[in-house]
Amino acid sequence: MERQKRVLAIHDISGVGKCSLTVALPIISAAGVECSVLPTAVLSTHTGGFTGFTYRDLTEDISPMVAHWQSLRLKFDGIYTGFLGSFEQIKLVGDAFSALADKDTLLVVDPVMADGGKLYSIFDETFPPAMKGLCSKADIILPNMTEAAFMLGEDYAEGPYTREYVEGLLRRLAKAIPVKHIVLTGVYFDDKELGAAVYDAAADNVCYVLGKNIPGSYHGTGDVFGSAFVGAAVGGKLIAEAARIAVDYTVECIAWTKEAGTDIRYGVNFERYLGDYSRKLGL
């Protein structure tokens, strides 16, 4: 019988609001993969649409936790990082890669720092180069269109996009950051479909995985997509296939959230389709 695989998810956690570890834990687990966690901060709610939330920084806990796991000689088949709130956390996560990963560990970095052409309010223009440094240690990165442009020092371009622009952006990014694969999210060529472009650096090949574009802005969808992608990839799916499964799952979750009339501040209703996600992985 095959050994159960294990992913370490390095994100913050919100008590209320479906994002970061709140979605990574159940979704990666639904892929049949154990999800260990390294929380970088604890919040009462996530920051999108809420005010007055509490925030406890856990930067000082990162190194001791990593050292303990290293002493236990734990094997991680994947390490998946999301929102990191400071330069110090970026450095510590890079150190964690060195301490906990071996040659078979899949390192996935989602460089969460910007969207819609703007950096998040807590960051300034010095942050993308630091995140670019962490991305250079990864096997796969999951930037959105804004994050990709900012890590290249370029201005953000509004969509809809052309294939020429998307593929040029991917190739420039792969030249600047030596990773095996880039999964670029927020790609769309018209108002009907939205999804990701998957770039294989060794083959210099781009494939597109698009789904129905449902109007609106839904908090946490990047984390839902990233978690579903990581679960599928570590579970053995090819990168493009994992991205297809993740896009389809995310679209299902958004559609059900809209149909149910859920307050979008709380994130998408991802729970309903976890069984479908597991079945697509052959579980």
Q: What one-character-per-residue DSSP string does 47-60 give?
A: SSS--S--EEE-HH
Question: pLDDT under 70 in the chain at which residues?
Answer: none
d(CA 112, CA 89): 13
Please check whether residue 277 lies inside any domain of the structure: no
Please check whether residue 276 lies inside any domain of the structure: no
Question: What is the torsional sign of CA 264, 161, 226, 97?
Answer: negative
Phi, psi for residue 104 in degrees, rounded to 5: -100, 0
pLDDT of residue 51: 87
CB proximity list for 262: less than 8 A, separation 6 or greater: 268, 269
Phi, psi for residue 229 in degrees, rounded to 5: -65, -50
Question: What is the torsional sign of CA 248, 193, 47, 58?
Answer: positive
The three-state (H, E, C) secondary structure of 103-127, written as one string: CCCEEEECCCCEECCEECCCCCCCH
Please check whether residue 254 lies inside any domain of the structure: yes
In CATH, what number is assigned to the domain containing residue 66?
A: 3.40.1190.20
Please check whether residue 108 lies inside any domain of the structure: yes
Condensed to tens digits (0 to 9), the pLDDT of residues 88-114 reads: 999 999 999 999 999 999 999 999 999
Please check whether residue 278 lies inside any domain of the structure: no
pLDDT of residue 202: 98
pLDDT of residue 62: 99
pLDDT of residue 169: 99
The Cα-based distances of 36 to 10, 27, 109, 147 in angstroms read 9, 12, 16, 26
Please check whether residue 283 lies inside any domain of the structure: no
Please check whether residue 281 lies inside any domain of the structure: no
Vertex 261 angle, CA 258 and 267, to 5°: 70
One-letter amino acid identity for 139?
D
Q: Are 188 and 213 in contact (CB under 8 A)?
A: yes
pLDDT of residue 49: 81
- For 162, the domain range is 6-270
Please check whether residue 96 lies inside any domain of the structure: yes
Token code pair at residue 200: 């294989």
pLDDT of residue 48: 80
Token code pair at residue 116: 């819609």
Q: Structurally, how many domains does the chain consist of?
A: 1
pLDDT of residue 181: 99
- pTM for the full model? 0.97
d(CA 144, CA 186): 6
